[in-house]
């Protein structure tokens, strides 16, 4: 066409092609998420045996569960929108406290309460006291003095420990180690100035702890030690939060009903479902599953040793990868020379870290096998080897995210600090790190949530897929949640593959997702502040 017609000149501009492309892109973005949602739905259905329940059970449970929740939400939404976040926090704190109590419980499985009692009393407490003494006088030698006192305490404790034959009852030691410092912290935060009120809060807190050790066994049948742990990790924070909210605004009490409503909804759902329904669900994932050892019988099978194993491994990974990772990031961002021979070394380290992040995890397993087991001679499949191997695996991720967090601290604040005559280390400790901490924590938690699901490296270092007893120290044989899932996925009995493995998968995913949510929450809070 040689003739130029303005009406057809725009015929080349078709909106159809663009629309198709846009919808295609949209569909593609949701594809992975939808597939994952389907798979998660299937695995949750299996883990809780939801197919066993009849339709009328669902109807009953829906009413029993939904009615209280909907009423409460509607009340908050229309009447008291200002209490929304208070209700959410109040509802989250008790379960979070229970998880925290579980973690403390596991820590006391590793080391006897007496171990904590001794070192807390003669190393940690004096060190904190010395630090406070120096810090209140703005003396810069505070950390040094505290460190010195702490180390001396540790050394004395090491020699004194075998000599002590009489020790207090475990629950008394737990009150001293857990409840007293927690009470002191709350007292200090709630009433920084008022000495009278501080004593009252601390006294009430400790009295509550003593009371819990008597009431716990009587009311819910736990040992006095467990009762004290539950009190310190769950009841005390709940009391603190509720007390603080009420002290601030007495009319905010409806927001604190959140956990009661949630509990009532769950209870109401179960009761009403049971009344109306002919058959209820047959959950595999229940208390028994979480607290029993693996078994050859599907009905008795549990995940407990693997959960404890995972906690042990993650504890090592968290400490090693955080210390080394943040240290390396500080070096690369704050110290590393950029030019000359030093600059070349810096560049090598940077490229190397980027490449390490891409090495398959199974190869790290071989490194752990060759280095820790074969060369150094640590045992096959023990806690320490597993922890160190996974630390090496996530170290590059921790370093890279910590570097980003440190880099995002503006240069001006560093310059200002140097201008005041601060040294490099003082600048890092007082200016850079406090601002970088949220970013560093987010990256570390995300990396840890990856470590908790890693399976291949653990298989390579010879970790057992099934152990029947939780580990007792850093040299004991260990299994982990993903290893146990791996074992069940292959079991020749179909009940293990189709019922027990899903329960393990859901447990693993809940742990992993809560770590992700925590990291995302931290990041959002941090981004809002920045």
Partner 1 sequence: MTEYFEEPDLSGNRGFQSLREGFYKALFFSFAAATVLTTIGIFLTLFVDALGFFRSYSLVAFLTGLDWSPSLEPVSFGVLPLVFGTLTVTFTAAVIAIPVGTLTAVYLSEYAAARTRAVLKPLLEILAGVPTVVYGFFALVYVTPVIDFFFPGVSTFNVLSASLMVGIMTIPMVSSISEDAMSAVPDSLRQAGYGMGATKYEVTTDIIVPAATSGIVSSYILAISRAIGETMIVTVAMGMQASIPAVKTADVFGLGIPFVHPGEVFLGSGQTMTAAMVQIANSDLAGGTIAYESLFAIGLTLFAITLLMNIVSNVISERYREEY
Looking at the Cβ atoms of 27 and 263, the one nearer to partner 1 is: 27
353 binds partner 1 (CB under 8 A): yes
- The answer to whether residue 324 forms part of the interface with partner 1 (CB under 8 A) is yes
Is 354 one of the binding residues for partner 1 (CB under 8 A)? yes
Nearer to partner 1, 40 or 107 (CB): 40
**Nearest distance from residue 456's CB to partner 1, in Å?**
4
* Structural element, H or E, at residue 340: helix 340-356
Under the binding rule (CB under 8 A), the answer on residue 331 touching partner 1 is yes
Residues 6 or more apart whose CB falls under 8 angstroms from that of 316 comprise 383, 384, 386, 387, 388, 390, 391, 474
Q: Which of 395, 409, 440, 467 touches partner 1 (CB under 8 A)?
A: 395
* Binding-site member from 303, 318, 399, 467 for partner 1 (CB under 8 A): 399
String marking each residue 275-314 x if it binds partner 1 according to CB under 8 A: ----------------------------------------
CB of 350 to partner 1, least distance (A): 9
**Distance from C-alpha of 32 to C-alpha of 308, rounded to nearest angstrom:** 32
Question: Of the candidates 86, 123, 317, 369, which one interacts with partner 1 according to CB under 8 A?
Answer: 369
Q: List the Cα angle 311/313/317 in 5-degree steps.
A: 115
Interface with partner 1: number of residues (CB under 8 A): 89
Site string for partner 1, 444-463 (x = CB under 8 A): --x--xx-xxxxx--xx-x-
Answer for which of 86, 235, 308, 330 binds partner 1 (CB under 8 A) is: 330
CA nearest to 403, candidates 326, 337, 324 = 326
For residue 212, how many other CB atoms are within 10 A of its CB?
Answer: 25
Of 489-528, binders to partner 1 (CB under 8 A) are 489-490, 497-498, 501-502, 505, 508-509, 512-513, 516, 520
Largest interatomic CA distance in the chain: 107
Distance (Å, whole) CA 240 – CA 283? 35
- Judged by CB under 8 A, does residue 218 bind partner 1? no
Of 514, 513, 487, nearest in space to 500 by CA: 487
DSSP secondary structure string for all residues of 389-443:
HHHHHHHHHHHHHHHHHHHTS-HHHHHHHHHTT--HHHHIIIIIHHHHHHHHHHH
* Residue numbers 12-41 binding partner 1 by CB under 8 A: 13, 15, 17-18, 21-22, 24-26, 28-33, 35-36, 38-39
Burial of 448 (0-12, 13-18, 19+ CB in 10 A): buried
227's tokens: 């009762």
**CB closer to partner 1 out of 292 and 426:** 426
Closer to partner 1 by Cβ: residue 156 or 509: 509
Site for partner 1 in 70-89 (CB under 8 A): none
* Residue 327 touches partner 1, criterion: CB under 8 A: yes
Which listed residue (43, 109, 145, 152) binds partner 1 by CB under 8 A? 43
Tokens (6 digits) for 89? 């926090």
């Amino acid at each position: 066409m040689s003739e130029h017609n303005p009406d057809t000149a725009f015929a080349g501009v078709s909106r159809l092609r663009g629309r198709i492309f846009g919808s295609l892109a949209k569909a593609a973005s949701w594809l992975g998420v939808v597939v994952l949602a389907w798979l998660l739905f299937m695995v949750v259905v299996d883990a809780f045996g939801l197919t066993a329940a009849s339709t009328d059970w669902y109807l009953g449970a829906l009413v029993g569960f939904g009615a209280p929740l909907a009423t409460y939400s509607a009340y908050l939404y229309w009447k008291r929108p200002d209490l929304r976040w208070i209700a959410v926090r109040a509802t989250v704190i008790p379960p979070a406290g229970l998880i925290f109590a579980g973690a403390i419980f596991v820590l006391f499985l590793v080391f006897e309460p007496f171990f904590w009692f001794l070192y807390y009393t003669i190393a940690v407490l004096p060190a904190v006291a010395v630090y406070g003494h120096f810090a209140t006088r703005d003396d810069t030698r505070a950390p040094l003095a505290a460190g010195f006192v702490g180390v001396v305490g540790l050394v004395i404790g090491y020699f004194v420990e075998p000599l002590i034959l009489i020790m207090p009852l475990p629950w008394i030691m737990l009150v001293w180690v857990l409840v007293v410092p927690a009470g002191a912290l709350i007292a200090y935060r709630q009433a920084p100035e008022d000495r009278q009120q501080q004593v009252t809060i601390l006294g009430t807190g400790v009295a509550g702890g003593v009371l819990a050790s008597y009431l716990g066994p009587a009311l819910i049948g736990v040992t006095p030690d467990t009762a004290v742990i539950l009190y310190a990790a769950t009841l005390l924070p709940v009391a603190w939060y509720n007390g603080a909210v009420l002290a601030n605004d007495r009319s905010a009490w409806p927001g604190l009903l959140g956990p009661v409503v949630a509990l009532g909804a769950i209870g109401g759902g179960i009761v009403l479902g049971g009344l109306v329904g002919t058959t209820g669900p047959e959950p595999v994932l229940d208390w028994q599953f979480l607290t029993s050892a693996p078994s050859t019988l599907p009905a008795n099978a549990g995940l407990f040793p693997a959960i404890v194993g995972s906690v042990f491994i993650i504890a090592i990974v968290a400490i090693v990868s955080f210390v080394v990772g943040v240290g390396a990031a500080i070096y690369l961002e704050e110290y590393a020379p950029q030019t000359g021979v030093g600059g070349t070394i810096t560049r090598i380290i940077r490229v190397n870290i980027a490449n390490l992040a891409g090495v398959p995890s199974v190869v790290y397993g071989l490194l752990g096998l060759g280095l820790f087991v074969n060369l150094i001679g640590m045992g096959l499949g023990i806690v320490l080897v597993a922890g160190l191997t996974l630390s090496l695996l996530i170290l590059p991720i921790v370093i890279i995210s910590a570097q980003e967090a440190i880099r995002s601290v503006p240069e001006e604040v560093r310059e200002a600090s140097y201008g005041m005559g601060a040294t490099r280390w003082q600048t890092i400790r007082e200016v850079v790190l406090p601002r970088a901490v949220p970013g560093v924590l987010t990256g570390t938690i995300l990396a840890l949530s990856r470590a908790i699901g890693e399976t291949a490296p653990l298989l390579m270092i010879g970790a057992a897929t099934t152990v029947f007893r939780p580990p007792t120290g850093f040299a004991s044989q260990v299994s982990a949640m993903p290893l146990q899932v791996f074992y069940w996925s292959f079991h020749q009995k179909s009940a293990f593959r189709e019922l027990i493995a899903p329960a393990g998968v859901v447990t693993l995913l809940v742990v992993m997702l809560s770590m992700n949510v925590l990291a995302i929450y931290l990041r959002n809070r941090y981004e809002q502040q920045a």
